Each structure stands twice: as C-alpha cells, then as structure tokens.
Amino acid sequence: MDRVTKKPRLATAWLGGCSGCHMSFLDLDERLIDLAARVEFCACPLTDLKDFPEADITLVEGAVANEEHLETIHEIRKRTKILISLGDCAVTGNVTAMRNAFGVEDVLNRAYKELATVVVGIPSGNDVVPKLLARVRPVHEVVKVDYYLTGCPPSADAIHACLVDLLEGREPAGEVKRFG
C-alpha cells in the first residue's frame, strides 16, 4: 500500500523477453484508465529508478538470461508481496531459452562474428552489457512465483482478470487458455 495515496502499488519489470507481454498489457486500452485510478503505478521498464521499489504486485515479463536479470529478479522478490510471471518467457523460458541447447560461446560467436556485417568483438564481462548466464531459466526456477499468466503473449483480458481479482482480494481464477 502506498503511504501517500493509500493505493496498492503495482509494478512491471522486463527481463529476457521481447516486450510483447508489455504490449499486451497496454492492450488493456481504456481499462488502463480505471486501473491507474485504483493503483499507484510505481515501476515499469521506462521508469528511471536506481533501485526497484517496494510493490504489492509485480508483473515480470521475460526469462532470467543474464547477470543483470538475476540481480533484478532477486531484488524484485525481496520488495514485492505478489510476484506474477507474465507470459511464456517468464513461465517456460520460451524463445529466450532456445539458446540453452547450445553453449553461450557458440551463441555469441554466431551473433557477433559469423552473422555480423561489422565485427567489433564479443561484448561480455564489461560494465555496459551484462554477461549472459550459462543457462536461461524461467523465473520460478530462480525465485518463488505466486501466479502465472501463460501465453505468448498472455491476452489483455487474462492480465486484466488477474489484476482485478487481486485488487478485489480474490484468488485469481487462473484459467489457462493455452499452455506452452
């Protein structure tokens, strides 16, 4: 609950995903206006914050693919009451995890050397580009996840239904329309 506005604090985060789940969230369209009135929207991938804020509900898009994601997801878990895996990359690893069948080195070589028109080198281990983890993992393999919104991406209706249930103190119905 926000100390000033006394509203539940809602956040969204973007790990290893294509942002399509956030696009689906934006597909709430006019329902976003109602939602904005009911919550204190405290963080999203566009907010420039030093640290992830305290939140009641956080929607996490994307799989845990690099060192920054790993740090962020632990931080989010510490500061969030209800953590929701938003979409298939967060839930299963999905396309983000397709590189797991190959080694990190092979993947980086493919992207930055073999297929590159200008070969500058492989960015790894510097302070600008986070280092890739050896293995991409779904969020619940790293931290405890409270609810799952499946789909690539989950529909705006599913996101809306889940948030409304939580805001009104109900257990989300969690109807899965398609898994995987």
Partner 1 sequence: MSVKTLEIDGKMLTGVAGETIFSVAWNKGIRIPRLCHIGGISDVGACRLCLVEIEGQKKLQASCLTPVEEGMVVHTDTPKLRAHRRLIVELLFAERNHICSVCVMNGDCELQELATELGIDHVRVRYQFPSLPVDLTHERFGLDHNRCILCTRCIRVCDEVEGAHTWDMLGRGTNSRVISDLGEPWGASDSCTSCGKCVQVCPTGALFAKGKAVGEMRKDRTFLKYIVTAREKKQWIE
Residues 118 to 147 in contact with partner 1, rule: CB under 8 A:
135, 137-138, 140-141, 145
If binding means CB under 8 A, how many residues of this protein chain bind partner 1? Answer: 27
Of 116, 109, 25, the residue nearest 62 (C-alpha): 25
Nearer to partner 1, 53 or 93 (CB): 93
Specify which residues 84 forms β-bridges with.
59, 147
Residue 162 as a binder of partner 1 (CB under 8 A): the answer is no
Cα distances (Å, whole numbers) of residue 121 to 107, 111, 112, 130 = 13, 10, 7, 15
Nearer to partner 1, 78 or 178 (CB): 178
Residue 110 as a binder of partner 1 (CB under 8 A): the answer is no
Q: Rounded to the nearest 5 degrees, what angle is found at the Cα of 95, between the Cα atoms of 151 and 80?
A: 60
Only one of the segments 32-40, 42-50, 85-93, 161-169 lies at the binding site for partner 1 (rule: CB under 8 A); that segment is 85-93
Positions that interact with partner 1 (CB under 8 A): 85, 88, 91-95, 97-98, 100-102, 135, 137-138, 140-141, 145, 148, 150, 152, 174, 176-180
